[in-house]
Amino acid sequence: AYTFAEAAHRGQKRKSGEDYIIHSLHVAKNLAEIGMDEKTIVAGLLHDVPEDTDITLEEVEKKFGSEVALLVDGITKLGKIKLRGSKEEYYLENLRKMFLAMAQDIRVVIIKLADRLHNMRTLEHLAPEKQERIARGTMEIYAPIANRLGIGEIKGELEDLSFKYLDPVHYEETRKLEETYLHEGKAYMERTVQF
């Protein structure tokens, strides 16, 4: 799957300037870290192939089977959510598509969460207005779904990363406080252990 995805994405770059395959690898790694099965990880590696390359979903199915193709197709459909109308309409449409995907196969939503997590980790390479829009969607849609699915590590990181772009002043204050207390707490623990 890696070889196939790497060949398909060869020459493509992300806004950061790194090869596109790096994103696919991070999505697969995120999925592996939460203990997902082989087919889900394969679909994570291939999730952008039909949408962003000349390779068709049929070719993915022929090479990796119908289960992987179904997952990749589900992710492609979720990726087509665009902001239209009011914020409420956007929110409801996002929820509707997420719940439809969950009804079809919950792994589609888990792959989408892993995809969003890596996109949030690299959000600094986008324009500020896009950063805010993506961070808001993450807080309103993705973090709550990660929470409902019991994936607390992803939920927490998505919220922290969103906070950085939605309220940068308070984020920086919080980060400094955390750093100070973490450092003081560590020093206190080391002194206590010595006694």
Q: Which residues are catalytic?
A: 51-52
CB 90 within 8 A of CB 83: yes
Cα angle 114, 125, 123 (rounded to 5 degrees) comes to: 35
Cα angle 110, 112, 116 (rounded to 5 degrees) comes to: 120
CB 114 within 8 A of CB 31: yes
Burial class (CB in 10 A: 0-12, 13-18, 19+), 71: buried
Q: In 3-state terms, what secondary structure has residue 48? A: coil
CB 40 within 8 A of CB 110: yes
Rounded alpha-carbon distances, angstroms, from residue 89 to 85, 140, 186: 6, 13, 47
